[in-house]
Structure 1
Amino acid sequence: MKWTYVLASLQTHLRVQRAELLTTMESTVKKLDVTYNPINERNTFTNGDFITGQVTLEMGKDCQIDSLFIKFKAKADVMWSETYGKTTVVYHSKEKYFTMKQYFIQSKDSKDGEYVQLINQASEYPSVVAGVHVYPFTFQFPVQDFPSSFKGPHGKIVYSLEACLSRSMRPNKKESTTVNFVSKPDISNISALKMPQRMSMDKKMKVFTSGSLAMDVNLEKSCFLQGEEMKVVSFIKNNSSREIKPKYCIYRKQSFFAKGKRRVHTKDLIKEEGSPIPEKATETVTQVIAIPHDAEPSILNCNIIKAEYRLRVYLDIKYASDPEVKFDVVILPAAQMLPDGSSSSYAWFDTEPFGTPAASVWSFGPSAPTQPSAPPSYDFNGMYPSLNDFS
């Protein structure tokens, strides 16, 4: 009994000592922080942009550092679960787009050939650190056709900066921050998206309503900027026995793909209605709909996540099913103002070209990636995705 008590006391003492040791080790690092410098008013970046920032490290006392680096990475991740009787199946899929590293302090024994070391500053920074130190970094966003940042109910596309501090006999300490990336559309296909669209329908009424209806709807184009006005012109022939009312709805469709399954979420963004059209009347109706400034850009270049928009034009008829037509709509990012007062190059497709796009955003087939003309160079380890059309 006495030995049992002694053993229990010894175990308790060791646990307390271990906790105190871990607390002391952890308190040595007072601060590890990652910040970056915005380049426009919305704090967004696009293909080919440089991102600069700093890692701030504050140590409470002298400490030997094995390694300190900043990692820049991008990936898409999808996950949801479904229950079949007593069985729950988890559907998960992910895509990695790129990973880059920049070392500030690097161990001589490090074998980190998987990543690109942008700027080797190991010789400039001492491995014994005390007090506050600021380590600047610079990365360039790839020019390849990667999707915009996204967050949905079952998936996300994340661009992030992560600092990692490694010390002997201690757990690594990490801090990260996310970056908002807006993919640059390829103007080679903008001309096709700016072509007018037209859809027609005819319906013969039954039961409570007699006669027929005809609707011819014209849309000036299929791509629109955030905040832009959409003009919808409809020729409506109401040859029925009831008054009808034209209605309009822009809705968002998000699709998530994993293990051959798809999960879809739809949400109505805008609902508007026009003036009533009396029975036995024919009218040309024009409706102007403003695209929300904060509408997320379309995502059509990701294998496991899609964000699409559609315009639904329908005729509201009492005691009858509503005849309708649907248009696919692409929403593009609006122009951004840079700190020098100029407009960013990725958003306004009626002005200057967007530089040298690497692949078509709106066509569903891969193009050969181009390399950025300015240093640093990148090695994406074959992670450039193929683009498949999920219908």
Structure 2
Amino acid sequence: MSSIKSFSVELEAPPDAAFTCGEVVSGHVVLELRRETKVFSIKVQGRGVATVHWLENRGLNAVYNDYTSKLTYFRKRQYLIRDNGEATTLPAGRHEFPFSFQLPEETLVTSFEGKHGSIRYWVKVKLHRPWAPVRKTKKEFTVIEPIDINTPTFLAPQAGTKDKMARAWYRNFGQVSVTAKIDRKGYTPGEVIPVFAEFDNSTSRSIVPKAFITQTQTFIARGTMKQKRSVVATLCGDIVGARSRETWHGRAIKIPPVGPSILQCRIIKVEYMLKVCVDVPGTSKLCLELPLVIGTIPLHPFGSRTSSISSHYSLNLDWMRMAIPEQPEPPPDYSSVVTQEEAEQQNNAVSCQPAEDLSGILERPLMAFVQEFRFRPPPVYSEVDPNPQPVNMRPRCMTC
């Protein structure tokens, strides 16, 4: 029977705790012995690593190309019992060895688990004994990169217009146009995005407007990119008849508890997009894309919006009027969101186009610690009284 009853790492933090750059990770190594045991050394290692890996079959000879990339964010090492050439004798019973190390001050990327890569942080302990195999134990922890959406870049409104001629074979059915806008670029999980859109249907057929929030995971290795796309939220509008127009006055689409955007890692990226699309029977889809950034620090209730944003939309009170959230629907497949032409273009771009100069460098549950914030944006300030009193209703001076 082994002399070791148990060997584990315990962190001095709640199980759902998350760390950020510059913070201290502390805990202790627990070693329970059944009898007196000699130990050469106990070593603690703290590491943060981003890895990417996938295989591709090129050709008919079943030859697989291995695409692998690795990026180390930090490496710490600490000896709890140092090897000085002689073994240390530990009596039977429970032993606890405290440890502590500080995370680097520079930005650490958020923990992530994806199909072709991961960003992981852990504490690993190795126990060396005379004439015995090395015993190892490991404890992972979560790191969050703070993304504050209360910055001018993330508070800037996003808007766009796109149109398309609906065709089937050699016949034109008319033009369809989509105009959409949202009040800002940055949001946090749990928030509701009010979508303002106008759908102009000049065709002889009915169209169906929809909105989607998509997530794109990009993995980069050896100058090649591999992407995985999915739909995380959806909104379906009413049918727009032939030669008619439909307007969304703030139709609500809620952000589910997804992981934050990852934009600072050179080999793994997680990006989000709001797509406002139109289904035209007999022809391909028309999609307008508005970029999103999912952050970790929610919108401040007061004093966070810039004066330029407030003044630009102060006269349009419908801009901040939110509709009642609809019943949630299961998200569709990504292939139903993009057009066939866009899918072919994206596949060609991913497979043929080399990545930028990066040579220097969910199948499992997402490890990122995210809070479901429900702050709504504050009302728009206006110096013009929207409900002025009539002149004859104002109180008069008693002396007049």
Aligned: 1:238 with 2:188: no
The alpha-carbon distance between structure 1 residues 42 and 171, as it changes in their structure 2 partners (threshold 3 A), is: closer
SS in structure 2 of the partner of residue 299 of structure 1: coil
SS in structure 2 of the partner of residue 193 of structure 1: helix
Aligned: 1:174 with 2:136: yes
User: What is the root-mean-square deviation in Å for CA atoms of aligned residues?
Assistant: 2.4
- Size of the aligned set, in residue pairs, is 299
Is 1:209–1:242's contact at 8 Å kept on the other side of the alignment? no
Is 1:34–1:176's contact at 8 Å kept on the other side of the alignment? yes
The alpha-carbon distance between structure 1 residues 161 and 151, as it changes in their structure 2 partners (threshold 3 A), is: same
SS in structure 1 of the partner of residue 35 of structure 2: strand
Distance 1:257 1:212 in 2: 39
Is 1:231–1:288's contact at 8 Å kept on the other side of the alignment? yes
Matches within 5 A, 1:316-355: 316-333=279-296, 347-348=297-298, 350=300
Is 1:63–1:129's contact at 8 Å kept on the other side of the alignment? yes
Aligned: 1:108 with 2:84: yes
Is 2:69–2:267's contact at 8 Å kept on the other side of the alignment? yes
Match of 2:372 in 1: none
Distance 1:46 1:75 in 2: 15
How far apart are 1:301 and its partner, in Å?
1.1
Is 1:209–1:320's contact at 8 Å kept on the other side of the alignment? no
Is 2:21–2:145's contact at 8 Å kept on the other side of the alignment? yes
Aligned: 1:194 with 2:170: no
Distance 1:148 1:109 in 2: 41
Matches within 5 A, 1:1-391: 27-39=2-14, 42-84=16-58, 85-86=60-61, 87-108=63-84, 127-130=88-91, 131-185=93-147, 190-207=151-168, 210-285=173-248, 286-293=250-257, 295-333=258-296, 347-348=297-298, 350=300
**272-281 or 296-305, larger mean C-alpha shift:** 272-281
How far apart are 1:153 and its partner, in Å?
0.9
Match of 1:119 in 2: none
Q: Percent identity?
A: 28
How far apart are 1:351 and its partner, in Å?
7.4
**208-217 or 172-181, larger mean C-alpha shift:** 208-217
SS in structure 2 of the partner of residue 205 of structure 1: strand
Letter paired with 1:107: D
Could you tell me which runs of 5 or more consecutive residues in structure 2 were left unpaired when the two chains were aligned.
303-356, 360-400
SS in structure 2 of the partner of residue 348 of structure 1: coil
Is 1:68–1:104's contact at 8 Å kept on the other side of the alignment? yes
Letter paired with 1:38: A
How far apart are 1:209 and its partner, in Å?
6.0
Letter paired with 2:64: T
Distance 1:287 1:300 in 2: 28
Is 2:148–2:298's contact at 8 Å kept on the other side of the alignment? no
Could you tell me which runs of 5 or more consecutive residues in structure 1 were left unpaired when the two chains were aligned.
1-23, 111-125, 334-346, 353-386
How far apart are 1:322 and its partner, in Å?
1.6
Q: Please, what TM-score do these two structures have when normalized by structure 2?
A: 0.70
